[in-house]
């Protein structure tokens, strides 16, 4: 009889524990929002294929976590902070969204993370670059995952100045991301003994870069640095090629360049370009295996944002599973405690300021002769250790850092 009581007590306790864990997942559903530019300047580097990467993560996880269904909703932010704010507010206040991923344009992301903090929900930023997102604008409700302007400035500008390219002209997108990158590049160039001889900001987005490139050419700079992204970058590089910039002895530095950009330009135009990336599809067997599956779904090789969306979504779901909860603070703390070793990063980790620290890579675009196929585009020149690539906590202005 005593044994029967023990068995019954154990069964009741197990049921209560299971029920408690289940109840901790709101609405018995883990609902994820994917917010990104689905049709404009940043479509190819994130866009619909970022949504596909998120869907792959959910499918690979099994579609459920601790018995609760995983759902995805998505929206086009149109690169507008107002559109993003309206969408995220509706998701959080009316639609039961627990986590928002994607988040590409910095202006969109800065608007979104304020709402996430107000509603105590979680954001996983895989596309936005402004370093302020995990610095002055950090919150306890988001994680900055793939890269930032600090990391981009450490890579390419440092290498090029050390190669003897001392005089720089910066062409920057006129919004938060471009401003942040311009400031970070200026800091790095000057710290390494170079100088910024001029800069100009262009509207976002811009289709005609003729006047901007002409002004950069006339500056006499050794390097014309492009502090922009997406079609702005490819349009600027194409214009520079048409004007014979590199033939005249000036170098082009693409500061935020994606595989989709180089594929669109082709190695004939982009060959020799040095750039910094957070990930490349052809680095090892694990990256190639995942990239093959992604390409089978989309017809293209993934950018670092696509890989980051997949990785961050998987890390989020693992944290929900481990804690039995979709509470933002509970999940974020679990993610901070958990090292990241997957197809995206080795020995990555998330700091208290929300910065995910991992290795970055200085690469060079191959020549047409070196490229074995249309996606064989990068040669990795140097691995930049994560603790070197990202802003040290000793310099942080984040309110979460002691």
Contact criterion met (CB below 8 Å) for 257 and 360:
no
From CA 252, how far away is CA 237, in angstroms rounded?
Answer: 8
- Indicate if 150-282+360-389 has the same CATH topology as 28-147+284-358: yes
Q: 364-371, long-range: CB within 8 Å, 24+ apart, which pairs?
A: 364/272, 364/273, 364/274, 364/275, 365/262, 365/267, 365/270, 365/271, 365/272, 365/273, 365/274, 365/275, 366/267, 366/271, 367/267, 367/271, 367/272, 368/266, 368/267, 368/268, 368/271, 370/267, 371/267
Residue-level pLDDT at 8: 39
pLDDT digits (tens, 9 = 90+) for 323-357: 999 999 999 999 999 999 999 999 999 999 999 99
Q: Give the start-to-end residue ranges of the domains of the chain.
A: 28-147+284-358, 150-282+360-389
Fold classification of 28-147+284-358 (topology level): Rossmann fold (3.40.50)
Cβ neighbourhood burial of 345 (10 Å; 0-12, 13-18, 19+): buried
Residue-level pLDDT at 81: 96
pTM of this structure: 0.89
pLDDT digits (tens, 9 = 90+) for 154-163: 889 999 999 9
From CA 38, how far away is CA 47, in angstroms rounded?
Answer: 4
Q: Tell me the torsion sign for CA atoms 101, 105, 107, 108.
A: negative
Show the tokens assigned to 280. Answer: 């490349």
pLDDT digits (tens, 9 = 90+) for 98-119: 999 999 999 999 999 999 999 9
Q: Indicate whether 16 pLDDT > 60.
A: no
* DSSP class of 67: T
- Can you spell out the DSSP letters for 126-174? SS---GGGGTTT--TTEEE-S--HHHHHHHHHHHHHHTT--EEEEEEES
Q: Report the interhelical angle of 285-298 vs 304-323 (nearest 10°).
A: 100
Does the structural domain 150-282+360-389 have CATH classification 3.40.50.2300?
Answer: yes
Contact criterion met (CB below 8 Å) for 51 and 36:
yes
């Amino acid at each position: 009889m005593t044994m029967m009581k023990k068995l019954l007590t154990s069964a009741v306790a197990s049921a209560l524990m299971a029920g408690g864990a289940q109840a901790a997942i709101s609405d018995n559903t883990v609902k994820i929002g994917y917010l990104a530019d689905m049709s404009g300047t940043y479509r190819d580097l994130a866009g619909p294929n970022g949504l596909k990467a998120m869907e792959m993560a959910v499918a690979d996880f099994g579609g459920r976590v601790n018995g609760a269904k995983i759902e995805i909703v998505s929206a086009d932010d149109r690169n507008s902070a107002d559109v993003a704010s309206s969408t995220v507010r509706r998701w959080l206040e009316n639609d039961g969204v627990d986590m928002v991923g994607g988040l590409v344009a910095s202006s969109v992301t800065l608007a979104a993370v304020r709402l996430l903090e107000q509603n105590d929900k979680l954001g996983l930023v895989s596309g936005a670059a402004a370093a302020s997102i995990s610095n002055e604008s950090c919150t306890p409700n988001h994680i900055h995952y793939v890269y930032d302007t600090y990391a981009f400035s450490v890579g390419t500008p440092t290498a090029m100045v050390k190669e003897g390219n001392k005089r720089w002209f910066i062409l920057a997108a006129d919004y938060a991301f471009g401003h942040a990158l311009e400031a970070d590049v200026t800091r790095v160039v000057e710290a390494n003994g170079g100088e910024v001889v001029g800069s100009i900001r262009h509207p976002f987005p811009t289709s005609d870069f003729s006047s901007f490139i002409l002004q950069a050419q006339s500056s006499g700079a050794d390097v014309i640095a492009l502090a922009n992204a997406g079609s702005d970058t490819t349009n600027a590089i194409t214009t520079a090629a048409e004007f014979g910039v590199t033939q005249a002895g000036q170098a082009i530095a693409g500061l935020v360049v994606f595989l989709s950009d180089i594929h669109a330009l082709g190695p004939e135009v982009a060959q020799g370009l040095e750039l910094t990336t957070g990930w490349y599809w052809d680095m090892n067997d694990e990256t190639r295996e995942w990239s093959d599956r992604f390409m089978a779904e989309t017809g293209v090789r993934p950018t670092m944002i696509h890989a980051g969306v997949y990785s961050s979504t998987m890390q989020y779901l693992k944290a929900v599973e481990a804690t039995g909860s979709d509470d933002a603070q509970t999940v974020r703390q679990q993610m901070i405690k958990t090292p990241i070793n997957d197809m995206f990063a080795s020995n990555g980790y998330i700091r208290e300021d929300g910065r995910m620290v991992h290795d970055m890579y200085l690469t060079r675009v191959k020549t047409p002769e070196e490229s074995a196929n249309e996606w064989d585009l990068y040669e990795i020149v140097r691995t930049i250790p994560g603790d070197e690539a990202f802003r040290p906590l000793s310099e942080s202005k984040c309110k979460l850092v002691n």
